[in-house]
Structure 1
Amino acid sequence: MNQLCSVLAIKYPIIQGGMGNISSPKLVAAVSNAGGLGTIGCGTMTPEEVEKRIVATKQLTQKPFALNVPINVSPYTKELLQLAITQKVPVVSLSAGNPTLYIEKLHAHHIRVIAVVASVKHAIKAEQGGADVIVAEGFEAAGINSDLELTTFTLIPQVVDAVSVPVVAAGGVGDGRGLAASFMLGAAGVQMGTRFIATQEMPVHPTYKQRLLDATDVETVILGRSIGQVRRVLCSPYASSLLADEAIGIKLTDYQERTSETYHIKGAIEGNEQGGFMNSGQIAGIIQDLPTVATLIERMMDDAQQCLNRTLLNHFTDSVWGVQS
């Protein structure tokens, strides 16, 4: 069995990324029921709001799912981790902060811990702190991102070489080719966010899904470079206005307010591109349809197998090495 699947008790090595306050029990359950690992993103929600989503998810699936806690983003980190323990959530994903402070307590309650990192240094520290799985996220990813700007293609093999626990590739993965490529780089699986937005089960505004279907390869933009708090979103009037304010010098507090979950919801849930933003990774450019989650996952697994089979076959032909027979 795939090492990641064994550790997380799932069928397929595909994890759904946390999606902040727009996280949906319907999507989480669909991913888990299809054999992957669905994830409830806590964002900045209160423990009471998160608990409702945990309960709703449990009513829709008997399969393992995860709770993503963005350590330095949520004002309720300790309470949410206690909630995970109380509700017996099988997996907790820790991002946007130092996960090592919390792993021992979660392990004491038999909870598997995923640490989301953006560099080799942080991957090593997370493994030393006891993380069961490392998600290495490249700069292609959607939403809050690292200002280190390391790409998935360069980050994954370096992290794989540095740690012994399963490594998951995140950022720039949206189909079977990306899954196969991740395997070739040494990853044990992938984590996807944007691609799962464009599925039938994700209850975001239709405008958001249509924007992903229509997206080109240059449809996303980075906000926050000028203040070191970067976020990748779809191009939009709201994003353009933020970039214009950055160009003349935006205050940190103003930027944080205007990229808060309030404006994420306005864009993603309400479809208001003038008054809010829509997170998106660069993978948006390859999205062409809105399948069910189960169809997407099965298709990815089949396509990845075909890609790997072709690669193995081609490596034994002279044409790969440029040799003329």
Structure 2
Amino acid sequence: MNQLCSVLAIQFPIIQGGMGNISSPKLAAAVSNAGGLGTIGCGTMTPVEVEERIVATKQLTQKPFALNVPINVNPHTKELLQLAITHKIPVVSLSAGNPTLYIEKLHAHQIRVIAVVASVKQALKAEQGGADVIVAEGYEAAGINSNLELTTFTLIPQVVDAVSVPVVAAGGIGDGRGLAAAFMLGAAGVQMGTRFIATEEMPVHPTYKQRLLDATDVETVILGRSIGQVRRVLQSPYASSLLADEAEGITLVDYQERTSEIFHIKGAIEGQEQAGFMNSGQIAGIIQDLPTVATLIENMMEEAQNCLNRTLLNNFKDSVRSVQS
């Protein structure tokens, strides 16, 4: 069995990203039921709001799912981790902060810990702190990203060489070719967010999904570089206004207010492109359909296997030609 699947007790090496306040029990359950690892993202929600989503997810699936806690984003980190313990959630994903402060307590309750990192240094620290899985995320990914802006293709092999625990590739992955490429780089699996937005089960505004279907390779933009808080979103009137204000010298407080989850919901859930934003990774340009989650995962696994088999066959043929010549 794949090492990642063994550690997380899942069938396929595919993890759903947290997605913040637009996180959906319906999507998380669908991913888990299809053999991957669904995730409930805490975003900036209160413990009461998160618990409602945990309960709803448990009613929809008997399979393992994860709780993603963005440490420096949500002020209720300790309470959220206690929810994971109380509800016996088997996996906790820790991002946007130092995960090592919480791993020992989670392990004491037999909870596996995923640490989301953006550099080799962060990966080493997470492994030393006891993380069971490392998600290494390139800045091709949607939403809040590291200011280091390392790409997935360069980050993954370096993290794989540095740590011994399973490494998951995140950022710029949306089909079986991406999964196969992640395997070739040494990763044990992938984490996806944007691709799961464009599925039947994800309850976002139809405009959001249509924007992903219509997206080109240059459909996303980076916000927040000027104040050191990088976020990747779809181009929109709202994003353009933010970029214009950045050029004029936006304040940190104003930027944080205008990229809060309130405006994320306005864009993603309400479809108001003039009044809010829609997170998106660069992978949006390859999205051509809105399948069920089960169909997406099944097709990805089949495509990845075909890619790997074709690569092995071609390498074998090249080796034979070399010997014959």
Tell me the TM-score normalized by structure 2: 0.98
Equivalences, count: 325
- Counterpart residue identity of residue 23, structure 1: S
CA contact (8 A) 1:208 1:268 kept: yes
1:316 shift after superposition: 2.0
1:75 shift after superposition: 1.3
The 5-angstrom pairing of residues 193-212 of structure 1 reads 193-212=193-212
1:197 shift after superposition: 0.1
CA deviation digits over 1:252-278, x for unaligned, max 9? Answer: 000000000000000000000000000
Q: 1:275 to 1:169 in 2, by over 3 A?
A: same
Structure 1 match to 2:5: 5
Structure 1 match to 2:153: 153
- Partner Cα distance (1:93, 1:7) in 2: 14
In structure 2, list runs of 5 or more residues that go unmatched.
none
The 5-angstrom pairing of residues 65-144 of structure 1 reads 65-144=65-144
Structure 1 match to 2:251: 251
CA deviation digits over 1:197-235, x for unaligned, max 9? Answer: 000000000000000000000000000000100000000
1:321 shift after superposition: 9.6
| Residue aligned with 2:35, SS | coil
CA deviation digits over 1:290-321, x for unaligned, max 9? Answer: 00000000000000000000000111233999
- Partner Cα distance (2:34, 2:276) in 1: 32
Q: 1:320 to 1:302 in 2, by over 3 A?
A: farther
- Alignment of 1:274 with 2:269, yes or no, is no
Structure 2 match to 1:242: 242
Q: Considering only aligned residues, what root-mean-square deviation do their CA atoms show, in Å? A: 1.4
Structure 2 match to 1:40: 40
- Partner Cα distance (1:198, 1:20) in 2: 16
- Alignment of 1:284 with 2:280, yes or no, is no
CA contact (8 A) 1:318 1:324 kept: no
- Counterpart residue identity of residue 312, structure 1: L
- Counterpart residue identity of residue 301, structure 2: M
CA contact (8 A) 1:100 1:129 kept: yes
Tell me the TM-score normalized by structure 1: 0.98
- Partner Cα distance (2:319, 2:192) in 1: 34
CA contact (8 A) 1:124 1:163 kept: yes
- Partner Cα distance (1:22, 1:280) in 2: 13
- Partner Cα distance (1:245, 1:199) in 2: 34
| Residue aligned with 1:317, SS | helix
| Residue aligned with 1:139, SS | coil
- Partner Cα distance (2:321, 2:313) in 1: 13
